[in-house]
Chain A
Amino acid sequence: MYFPTSGGFLEKKRLSHFRRFQLIESEPTTPPSKAYCLNKGRMVCSAESTSKRQKPEEADRISNLPKSLLCRILSFLTTKEAVVTSILSSRWKTLWTLVPKLDFDYYELTTTSSSAEVQSHKRYNFNFAHIVSRVWALRGASHVQKFRLHWDHGVYDPVHMDTWVRATIARGVEDIDLHIDPNSNRSFYLPCSLFNCKTLIALKLSGNFEYDTPPSSSIVFPSLKILHLEFNFNSCDYLFTLPTLCPVLQDLSVKVHCWYADWHCKFISPTLKRLHLYMKFDELPYKLEIKAPALEYLNFGGHLDSILLEDLSNLVEVVIDIDVDLTKIDYYEHYGSRAWDFIGELCDIKSLHLSANTTEFLCNASEFDPPVFHNLSFLKVKGPCMLHVLPHLLQVTPNLAVLVVEKEERNFFSCEKGESFTCDMILYEEPLQQVVRKCLSSCLTTLHYEGFEGLKNELKLVKHFLKRAKVLKTMKISSYNLNSEEKLCVLKELLLFPRHSRSCQIVFS
């Protein structure tokens, strides 16, 4: 037996246990006509109360939200956008000062209408530093959770920036994002208090950075979990020791555009889970050693040189996007072998993504001998060379469950092998056939083909997969260039292909 109370319902016999949940008197303004309760996930409607639900007045509804929720809404705007709300009403006048996020972007704050007439009507002619200082003054001592400062145009002033960074540290900041012009010859000297900041959880630095005085202890950033560094040659080497010094680091991103030749660095982190490397390095040689036994995700981009990976027992997912200026390297054919060797070191992973550039290098490798990837269940291969590389990969992935192939359009394509070249390899060459047949018959459950054009060899390949894949559940095909008539034509043809797997669904988009 249930009895209604002012805002909700209680089961009678359990009343004693619900004392903690004694009902809060619901707002007198809007009594609900039906209050619902969760009944182990299903909604159950108990008796309707007699009073009809009053249509709430349109006026001032969202503004009735408590300040904390209004601040939460404003926190999704930049500081400039939030300040505008000060003019809405007297309640909103200082609401923006309570938002614990500060977001200053030089470009956003100083693109003014250039007409002199408009300028002369403005009483105050604030520049970027004025604006930021004014916002700080109005905010007072309230807590700052996130501080983002992008000052990559105009005349960058490190003294002002230092003041603001120190101010955020004093207000318990958790997330700092600093971006300054990488082409400026003035570095920003990070204050010592930043390295010892106990509240900082995420730090993003992009530009030229150095440090003023060395930090007092050997442990820096005691709470830092996320560190993203993006440097040019004007930053100091010390900053590359940070990943090793941070005791609880989990997410690291290092992007180096140009540096000096033969740079050698070691990252040692027992807590690191995600690593994103972009080593453009101006195509110069380097050596990077990584010891991160807890690493689960690795994303490598840029110029591949000497990278030593120790202890990859937890590594699950790898994304590789080789990005090299070919005019700067003179060992193009060996580069492909180097790429195969690098992938070969990752033979225990479960998920592998290869970009279009990467597959092109793999395709043109002079010699390669990849090991077997026993645990690999997800493979994504992109680019026009993906059909050339696919048979070699299928040969070493006996337990592949999900295969995604994406044929990207490319303007510059240097591969000489024809389109039909290795489809025949997959379909007819005997030793390869056996291994592929085994994988397809017992493991492959999903195949996505993106960029399908309905070409003869593509249809041949799809037909082959449908015929052999015994446990295939989904075959998803998406095409960008076909119009609906062509799509219908292709779909009809696909549906006629014999399927080994009875439960296979073909999805065409």
Chain B
Amino acid sequence: MKFCAVKQYFDDENNNNITSGASTTMIPLPNVESHPLAILITYCKKHLKIKANNADNKKETEKEMEQYEQELLKKVMPQELTELILAANYLNFKEALDFFCRAVASAIQNKSIEFVRKFFGLESDFELGEEEKLREEFAWSFEGVDED
């Protein structure tokens, strides 16, 4: 069970000896919205399916998973990534959380400051001259970063 929060829920249920014979068990997920939940469920199912198909061949599993992840990223908008990260974090779904965080990281890697500000929807709130001072001090980190 990849959604660790949900697993915890089921474990707790068993501990309280509730009969699991009831046909509907509603699990409240107040902090997860519909759209990211759908994507996470698809991701999880795909992950398990690929793993099952390639039980003997770890390299094949990794390769197929990478291909699927590339396809998925093309369909997801940057704004949706926030929701996906929050959802994966709430559900305690480590693989998806790492995947989406890595996706955000590669989107901003070595990009210009203006690009990153736009991506995150940020505005500079530094005092006059503070930004210049930081740029000078960390000049070594700006090597290879895109120009504004």
Q: Is A455 an interface residue (CB 8 A)?
A: no
Residues of B49-98 contacting chain A, CB below 8 A: 56-57, 78-79, 81-82, 85-86, 89, 97-98
Q: Is A416 an interface residue (CB 8 A)?
A: no
Q: Is A438 an interface residue (CB 8 A)?
A: no
How would residues 16 to 37 of chain B score, 1 for a CB under 8 Å from any chain A CB and 0 otherwise?
Answer: 1010000011111111111001
Please report the C-alpha to C-alpha distance between residue A21 and residue B105 in the assembled complex, in whole angstroms: 33
Residues of B36-55 contacting chain A, CB below 8 A: 37-38, 41
Judging by beta carbons under 8 Å apart, are A90 and B143 in contact?
no
Q: Look across to chain A and name the residue whose beta carbon is closest to the beta carbon of B137.
A: A124
Judging by beta carbons under 8 Å apart, are A64 and B82 in contact?
yes
Judging by beta carbons under 8 Å apart, are B41 and A43 in contact?
yes
Instruction: Please name all residues of chain A whose beta carbon is closer than 8 Å to the beta carbon of B122 when the two chains form the complex.
Output: 59-60, 63, 88-89, 92
Q: How many A-B contacts if CB must be within 8 Å?
A: 171
What is the minimal beta-carbon distance from A23 to any residue of chain B, in angstroms?
Answer: 5
Residues of B106-148 contacting chain A, CB below 8 A: 106, 108-110, 113, 116-117, 119-126, 131, 134-145
Q: Is A18 an interface residue (CB 8 A)?
A: yes
Please report the C-alpha to C-alpha distance between residue A131 and residue B142 in the assembled complex, in whole angstroms: 13
If A7-B31, A62-B81 touch, does A85 touch B138 (CB 8 Å cutoff)?
Answer: no
The interface-forming segment of A75-83, A173-181, A227-235, A388-396 is A75-83
Q: Look across to chain A and name the residue whose beta carbon is closest to the beta carbon of B135.
A: A87
How would residues 8 to 35 of chain A score, 1 for a CB under 8 Å from any chain B CB and 0 otherwise?
Answer: 1111001001101101101000001011
Instruction: Please name all residues of chain A whose beta carbon is closer than 8 Å to the beta carbon of B27 when the two chains form the complex.
Output: 37-39
Instruction: Please name all residues of chain A whose beta carbon is closer than 8 Å to the beta carbon of B106 when the two chains form the complex.
Output: 76
Contact among A14, A20, A44, A402 with B56 in the assembled complex (CB-CB below 8 Å): A402
Q: Is A502 an interface residue (CB 8 A)?
A: no
Q: Is A264 an interface residue (CB 8 A)?
A: no
Total count of chain B residues near the partner, CB < 8 A: 63
Contact among B34, B78, B101, B142 with A35 in the assembled complex (CB-CB below 8 Å): B34
Contact among B34, B105, B123 with A36 in the assembled complex (CB-CB below 8 Å): B34
Please report the C-alpha to C-alpha distance between residue A109 and residue B138 in the assembled complex, in whole angstroms: 11
Residues of A225-243 contacting chain B, CB below 8 A: none
What is the minimal beta-carbon distance from A473 to any residue of chain B, in angstroms?
Answer: 12
Please report the C-alpha to C-alpha distance between residue A44 and residue B16 in the assembled complex, in whole angstroms: 25
What is the minimal beta-carbon distance from A104 to any residue of chain B, in angstroms?
Answer: 11
Please report the C-alpha to C-alpha distance between residue A61 and residue B101 in the assembled complex, in whole angstroms: 15
Q: Is A111 an interface residue (CB 8 A)?
A: yes
Judging by beta carbons under 8 Å apart, are B31 and A61 in contact?
no
**Chain B interface SS verdict (over half):** helix
Judging by beta carbons under 8 Å apart, are A65 and B32 in contact?
no
Q: Which has the most chain A C-beta neighbours within 10 Å: B85, B86, B143?
A: B143
Please report the C-alpha to C-alpha distance between residue A89 and residue B104 in the assembled complex, in whole angstroms: 18
Please report the C-alpha to C-alpha distance between residue A44 and residue B25 in the assembled complex, in whole angstroms: 11
Contact among A14, A24, A83 with B31 in the assembled complex (CB-CB below 8 Å): A24
Instruction: Please name all residues of chain B whose beta carbon is closer than 8 Å to the beta carbon of A69 when the two chains form the complex.
Output: 85-86, 89, 101
Instruction: Please name all residues of chain A whose beta carbon is closer than 8 Å to the beta carbon of B134 when the two chains form the complex.
Output: 86-87, 93
Q: Look across to chain A and name the residue whose beta carbon is closest to the beta carbon of B139.
A: A122
Contact among B12, B24, B124 with A20 in the assembled complex (CB-CB below 8 Å): B12
Please report the C-alpha to C-alpha distance between residue A14 and residue B26 in the assembled complex, in whole angstroms: 10
What is the minimal beta-carbon distance from B16 to any residue of chain A, in angstroms?
Answer: 7
If A62-B120, A62-B121, A64-B82 touch, does A84 touch B28 (CB 8 Å cutoff)?
Answer: no
What is the minimal beta-carbon distance from B114 to any residue of chain A, in angstroms?
Answer: 10
Judging by beta carbons under 8 Å apart, are B32 and A112 in contact?
no
Q: Look across to chain A and name the residue whose beta carbon is closest to the beta carbon of B127.
A: A90
Q: Look across to chain A and name the residue whose beta carbon is closest to the beta carbon of B141.
A: A83
Judging by beta carbons under 8 Å apart, are A123 and B30 in contact?
no
Contact among A5, A6, A39, A45 with B25 in the assembled complex (CB-CB below 8 Å): A39
Instruction: Please name all residues of chain B whose beta carbon is closer than 8 Å to the beta carbon of A32 when the two chains form the complex.
Output: 33-34
Instruction: Please name all residues of chain B whose beta carbon is closer than 8 Å to the beta carbon of A260 when the two chains form the complex.
Output: none
Q: Is B4 an interface residue (CB 8 A)?
A: no
Instruction: Please name all residues of chain B whose beta carbon is closer than 8 Å to the beta carbon of A39 when the two chains form the complex.
Output: 24-27
Q: Which has the most chain B C-beta neighbours within 10 Å: A14, A88, A124?
A: A88
Judging by beta carbons under 8 Å apart, are A8 and B29 in contact?
yes
Instruction: Please name all residues of chain A whose beta carbon is closer than 8 Å to the beta carbon of B137 when the two chains form the complex.
Output: 124
Q: Is A113 an interface residue (CB 8 A)?
A: yes
Please report the C-alpha to C-alpha distance between residue A402 and residue B60 in the assembled complex, in whole angstroms: 14
Q: Look across to chain B and name the residue whose beta carbon is closest to the beta carbon of A76.
A: B105
Judging by beta carbons under 8 Å apart, are A36 and B32 in contact?
yes
Judging by beta carbons under 8 Å apart, are B33 and A84 in contact?
no
Instruction: Please name all residues of chain B whose beta carbon is closer than 8 Å to the beta carbon of A111 when the two chains form the complex.
Output: 143-144
Please report the C-alpha to C-alpha distance between residue A10 and residue B121 in the assembled complex, in whole angstroms: 35
Judging by beta carbons under 8 Å apart, are A18 and B28 in contact?
yes
Judging by beta carbons under 8 Å apart, are A43 and B101 in contact?
no
Contact among B9, B86, B138, B140 with A65 in the assembled complex (CB-CB below 8 Å): B86
Not counting A89-B122, A351-B56, a sample of 10 additional A-B residue pairs whose C-beta atoms are within 8 angstroms of each other reads A9-B26, A20-B12, A23-B30, A60-B121, A63-B122, A85-B108, A90-B126, A113-B143, A122-B136, A124-B137
Can you list 25 pairs linking A and B with CB atoms under 8 Å apart?
A: A6-B30, A7-B31, A8-B29, A17-B16, A20-B12, A21-B9, A23-B28, A37-B28, A38-B27, A43-B37, A43-B38, A58-B79, A62-B120, A65-B85, A74-B105, A76-B101, A80-B141, A81-B109, A87-B131, A111-B143, A113-B143, A122-B136, A124-B136, A131-B140, A377-B56
